[in-house]
Structure 1
Amino acid sequence: LMWLGVVFGWESMGNYCVFLFSLHTAVYLVRAWFCFDCVAHLSQDEGSVNEINITNHVKEGSERADPRQFELRKVLGQGSFGKVFLVKKITGPDAGQLYAMKVLKKATLKVRDRVRTKMERDILVEVNHPFIVRLHYAFQTEGKLYLILDFLRGGDLFTRLSKEVMFTEEDVKFYLAELALALDHLHGLGIIYRDLKPENILLDEEGHIKLTDFGLSKESIDHENKAYSFCGTVEYMAPEVVNRRGHTLSADWWSYGVLMFEMLTGTLPFQGKDRKETMTMILKAKLGMPQFLSQDAQSLLRNLFKRNPGNRLGAGPDGVEEIKRHSLFSTIDWNKLFRRELHPPFKPASGRPDDTIYFDSEFTAKTPRDSPGCPPSANTNQLFRGFSFVAISDEESQPPQNININMSSVQQLHRNTAQFSDAYDVKEDIGVGSYSICKRCVQKSNSMDYAVKIISKAKRDPTEEVEILLRYGQHPNIITLKDVFDDGRSVYLVTELMKGGELLDKILRQKFFSEREASAVLHTITKTVEYLHAQGVVHRDLKPSNILYVDESGNPESIRICDFGFAKQLRAENGLLMTPCYTANFVAPEVLKKQGYDAACDIWSLGVLLYTMLTGFTPFANGPEDTPEEILARIGSGKFSLTGGYWNSVSAEAKDLVSKMLHVDPHQRLTAAQVLRHPWILHKDQLPMYQLNRQDAPHLVKGAMAATYSALNMHVPPVLDPVGRSSLAQRRGVKKLTSTAL
């Protein structure tokens, strides 16, 4: 049987709104909440309904809501049955609170399987947990149904996993721990969840999970009673669900293991060429355990993948306590976790509460308008009698205390539905890159000069860059993001204008330049890089053209690190990044060798910059006549000279720092904190003030840089495709896995 949600047609939703627009979720939530006092007499097979009685239900002490109490802010998604809006409550004790409002047309809804409707009603009335999505209001007009839910702007785990391929073990441990508490809450109410997968796990504004979609859940179950429905997403089904011999709460722990395996490896443990083969593998195939996983992770997986549900971890009399006691979770403080006091591994970036950077601009750019619904049939009106619902208020539902504070320009990002050209006039080009072009622009409202970076979405996903600038752009030496526009084809990042030009250009043109000045420059840059690394961010493209002066003073304080197009946010203290980016002379050797690399590559790039500041030439390219093969060989070997010629006037401390920053082994290379503690930086006020004897040929440096860029252009950098083209999405037929209910 095809689910109502399947016909909703949400395939056109963007990668960042999958959790709100999975329409089978919307339909089953509708069916859960329109039937609040549903009485059914069931036959033995759970399938036939002799009587359905629907009565109105409004919780004591609350009052009904209606559409006039909500201000439409943005369109988050749209399908054939209705729309999803970002709304703000404008009356009542929760005035100012943001919600997601799903508006469904009665006339186009077909209601089937009313037994599951009653089950969902009972589940959602009972459930109240920090890691489970919450319904706040449900109401109706003559033609429409309205569901007011948590606005969860962090997207879902499917989208994040599709972009990152796999998570670090620390990431997975955190998500699994929160998920275990959510499942335990459901199991304590006698509810089997039965549809655990990344698409149904959402992230809130802090990065904590929220479990959603109870369309396949079954209540009034304990370890002695069984359910027999064939339902769920086949790749995540437990063997006892596949063979239809009856399943209990322990079926969820098998699915929990599948999810864990997928997050750790980027692949599913059991997946054949078709549905039938997948089911056979679940029943009979031997698990291929990846040996790169830790012993603790392997142990937990083996204990979850027990085909006899009675032997499965979590199925015993202690339930979830068996999971919590496993060695993988030995570092988890479960009380702090429940109180949401532990920091999630990923926090969605946003400048202000109603930012929608994780949602498809195809919808967010539209004018929010709730059009009239078609008149429903008389039967439909009767069916939705008793739809209204108001949740009992608690501390979590109170409006934010600072909702009306004055916000900086950065915090007002994504507020515009207008086009970039409505707010700015474009002027001359500043620079052209592989994926973007930078131009000067003038804001029409105040005639102030800014720079705009125009990124082609077909060539590059700018989400990571926007996130990083939103989070860290307030640092005094990081370029400030002023505004963001998205016209569907390009993203426009409006930033402060770097009027002082590139750092290296200014230094090379400077007639007098001393070691003391070089130390002050490196100190400012390294201190900024240390800040980024402490936040888990690596820049990965610290070439001179990305380090500029905001004004013409030449003071170190006016230095800005720019262009975070290749930057990456790390997820673990020892996490190695496996997506190489290539940038000329400033690429670390291990990147060219296509090995994993971490924050040490930024230090290597700063070492190249220091080398060039001190001598006036680059360490791995002498000029435009160098062949690509020669340059690449030098970079790969890590060999460079620190003796003779221009190095004779450079102090021993400076040479020592250069050699340690350019060490070919990233594990022996200095960290940013160690660079800042080096005597050449720590005692910069004692460094010589005399003129450095440098090569006075800026054109040769430029030529060497150009030759290196040309060499690396022979090695075409990888282009990040949309999420839909990831291996995860390809494995699933370029879409999220659909659930089945029979």
Structure 2
Amino acid sequence: MCDVWPNTKGRPAVRTVGVPPPSARVENTETWQRSKKFTVYKVVVGCDGRSWFVFRRYNEFYKLSETLKKQVPAPQLKLPGKKLFGNNLDPTFVQERREGLDAFVQSLMQEGGGRLLRLPEVREFFQLDRNLGSLSEDGEGDGDGDSIEGTDSTSEPAPQVNLGPSERTSARPADFEFLHVIGKGSFGRVLLARHRTEQRFYAVKVLSKRLVVKRNEVRHIMSERSVLLKTLNHPFLVGLHYCFQTPDKLFFVLDYVNGGELFFHLQRERVFTEPRARFYSAEIAAALGYLHSRGIVYRDLKPENLLLDAEGHVVLTDFGLSKEGLLPTETTNTFCGTPEYLAPEVLRKELLHKDNQQRLGSGYRGFDEVKLHSFFDSVDWELLLAKKIQPPFNPNVSDVLDLHNIDPEFTCEAVPASVATSASHRKGSALSASVRIPDDIFAGFSYAPPTDEML
């Protein structure tokens, strides 16, 4: 049994009896930048064991509020007022506005026993129909509860995303021969792959859309793609060749380097000599200095994210926690990174210099100040960037398929058969629908360089 709430768009909005109505909260804020900086508010919505989030600007809350005033007699909703003067990005103001918008959302959810959730404008604001779907009037679903079946030609595939002109429409998993697992992460694997036509070798990072959405990591994945597009020509940053997607997976086609993780070598050798540490530190500093010059803060520096190429040069990878659009004097407030590598003074909340302008390389001095430190007196930076300084350690790689520097924990794992196929095309497969993926959530992910760069 269920209560049917018409949503005026040709299909019923349904609430199942015994299932609590949706809940929502304005969880936090982010600063985005297009032509200018602005604040967006992350609205987390949950219903029937499922959750998703949407980003909304203040003007969208305001527009919804004005619409409700016209449609609903005397709604008990109070929206925080507009800021006519001063800085809209002031942290105190943003926090107060977030709290006010959260109160607005709570009132909206509870108003009249949830009657406002029947309105199409409200349902669209929270993306209820897009994420929950709709049931038939007799209460029967169009699937088997918690799964979307993709077992035959009559099953509806996951929605295709409109990717715009940057999409490499011809790219697909079947273009590659996936040879070995060479890395693993929270959302998928990194595989050594050979392009069947080009006969070139790539590291292909394969991510599960379902896991990315379920863990609210879409912004980080799209940020990683955006950063990779800006780091194509730096000697110590991994390069992105192109990326594409299937209904259930995301694919980054990256430079393949097989000198191993710095973590792997450090774990095996226990300690590096000072000259070797200086060499790695200089190449890492050059990579970070370049990122900072482009307004990018990396935020996840650790040995696992530092690879060595076949000659022994550093390659920085994994930009999932990076943040863009920052000026040299700006800071971030997010506490992020890998706990095992947090500096002791950060854990104790005792910075070495509380005045960040007193820290080496801070502000507009940046990388230029780091280069002048006495620790790097022996480094010729021009030769370093040209990769003309002999690395102190040679990984001794015999050929492209030599994997002895890559942790056997990865290479001994069999390549999953599912990597080269889409779930919507695998007989008998099912995708969990605990999180339904909105049509446009990965819009703009796919990327291909100009044709002349691909030749």
| TM-score, length-scaled by structure 1 | 0.36
Are positions 1:388 and 2:446 aligned together? yes
Structure 1 residue matching 2:382: 3-state secondary structure: helix
Structure 2 residue matching 1:175: 3-state secondary structure: helix
User: How many aligned positions are there?
Assistant: 298
Q: Which residue of 1 aligns with 2:228?
A: 124
Q: 1:200 to 1:46 in 2, by over 3 A?
A: farther
Give the drift of 1:143.
Answer: 3.3
Give the drift of 1:332.
Answer: 1.3
> What is the aligned counterpart of 1:223 among 328, 332, 340?
328
Q: Which has the higher contact order (CA 8 A, sep 6+)?
A: 2
How is 1:20-419 mapped onto 2 (pairs within 5 angstroms)? Answer: 42-43=39-40, 49-50=55-56, 55-59=162-166, 64-77=170-183, 82-91=188-197, 95-109=198-212, 110-128=214-232, 129-234=234-339, 236-237=341-342, 270=344, 279-280=347-348, 283=350, 305-361=352-408, 363-365=410-412, 368=415, 370-371=417-418, 372=421, 373=423, 374-376=429-431, 379-380=436-437, 382=439, 383-392=441-450
Q: Which residue of 1 aligns with 2:19?
A: none
How is 1:516-665 mapped onto 2 (pairs within 5 angstroms)? Answer: none
Distance 2:316 2:290 in 1: 11
Kept in 1: contact 2:258–2:400 (CA 8 A): no
Distance 1:97 1:188 in 2: 32
Kept in 2: contact 1:234–1:279 (CA 8 A): no
Distance 1:115 1:46 in 2: 14
How is 1:680-699 mapped onto 2 (pairs within 5 angstroms)? Answer: none
Q: Deviations over 1:434-484 (max 9, x none)?
A: xxxxxxxxxxxxxxxxxxxxxxxxxxxxxxxxxxxxxxxxxxxxxxxxxxx
Distance 1:78 1:195 in 2: 16
Q: 1:203 to 1:389 in 2, by over 3 A?
A: same
Distance 2:354 2:452 in 1: 42
Distance 2:190 2:447 in 1: 19
Distance 1:337 1:43 in 2: 41
Q: Deviations over 1:259-310 (max 9, x none)?
A: xxxxxxxxxxx38xxxxxx722x507xxxxxxxxxxxxxxxxxxxx534211
Letter of the 1:390 partner, please give it.
Answer: A
Q: Deviations over 1:693-726 (max 9, x none)?
A: xxxxxxxxxxxxxxxxxxxxxxxxxxxxxxxxxx
Letter of the 1:65 partner, please give it.
Answer: A
Letter of the 1:56 partner, please give it.
Answer: L
Letter of the 1:42 partner, please give it.
Answer: T
Q: 1:134 to 1:357 in 2, by over 3 A?
A: same
Letter of the 1:389 partner, please give it.
Answer: Y
Q: 1:41 to 1:114 in 2, by over 3 A?
A: farther
Q: 1:179 to 1:83 in 2, by over 3 A?
A: closer
Distance 1:175 1:79 in 2: 24
Give the drift of 1:153.
Answer: 1.4
* Greater fraction of residues in strand: 2
Q: 1:177 to 1:70 in 2, by over 3 A?
A: same
Distance 1:46 1:56 in 2: 24
Structure 2 residue matching 1:101: 3-state secondary structure: strand
Kept in 2: contact 1:64–1:139 (CA 8 A): no
Larger Rg: 1
Give the drift of 1:394.
Answer: 8.2
Give the drift of 1:352.
Answer: 1.6
Letter of the 1:159 partner, please give it.
Answer: F
Kept in 2: contact 1:64–1:389 (CA 8 A): no
Q: Deviations over 1:544-602 (max 9, x none)?
A: xxxxxxxxxxxxxxxxxxxxxxxxxxxxxxxxxxxxxxxxxxxxxxxxxxxxxxxxxxx
Letter of the 1:328 partner, please give it.
Answer: F
Kept in 1: contact 2:361–2:369 (CA 8 A): yes
Structure 2 residue matching 1:136: 3-state secondary structure: strand
Give the drift of 1:45.
Answer: 9.0
Give the drift of 1:368.
Answer: 4.0
Give the drift of 1:41.
Answer: 6.6
Give the drift of 1:57.
Answer: 4.1
Q: 1:219 to 1:169 in 2, by over 3 A?
A: same
Kept in 2: contact 1:40–1:50 (CA 8 A): no
Distance 2:366 2:184 in 1: 41
Give the drift of 1:125.
Answer: 2.2
Q: 1:118 to 1:103 in 2, by over 3 A?
A: closer
Distance 2:363 2:205 in 1: 40
Q: 1:369 to 1:230 in 2, by over 3 A?
A: closer
Structure 1 residue matching 2:250: 3-state secondary structure: strand
Q: 1:58 to 1:345 in 2, by over 3 A?
A: farther
Give the drift of 1:318.
Answer: 2.6
Give the drift of 1:337.
Answer: 0.8
Distance 1:362 1:116 in 2: 26
44-53 or 204-213: bigger deviation:
44-53
Q: 1:310 to 1:82 in 2, by over 3 A?
A: closer
Letter of the 2:229 partner, please give it.
Answer: V
Distance 1:80 1:236 in 2: 18
Structure 2 residue matching 1:229: 3-state secondary structure: coil
Distance 1:81 1:44 in 2: 25
* Greater fraction of residues in helix: 1
Q: 1:57 to 1:170 in 2, by over 3 A?
A: farther
Q: Which residue of 2 aligns with 1:427?
A: none
Q: Which residue of 2 aligns with 1:18?
A: none
How is 1:411-450 mapped onto 2 (pairs within 5 angstroms)? Answer: none
Give the drift of 1:205.
Answer: 1.6
Kept in 2: contact 1:142–1:381 (CA 8 A): no
Give the drift of 1:344.
Answer: 1.2
Kept in 2: contact 1:86–1:99 (CA 8 A): yes
Distance 1:235 1:67 in 2: 35
Letter of the 1:201 partner, please give it.
Answer: L
| TM-score, length-scaled by structure 2 | 0.57
Distance 2:185 2:362 in 1: 40
Distance 1:140 1:113 in 2: 16
Give the drift of 1:96.
Answer: 2.3
Give the drift of 1:144.
Answer: 2.8
Kept in 2: contact 1:74–1:86 (CA 8 A): yes
Distance 1:323 1:171 in 2: 18
* Consecutive unaligned residues in structure 2, runs of 5 or more: 1-33, 45-53, 58-124, 128-160, 424-428
Q: 1:168 to 1:196 in 2, by over 3 A?
A: same
Give the drift of 1:184.
Answer: 1.0
Give the drift of 1:221.
Answer: 1.3
Distance 2:169 2:42 in 1: 39
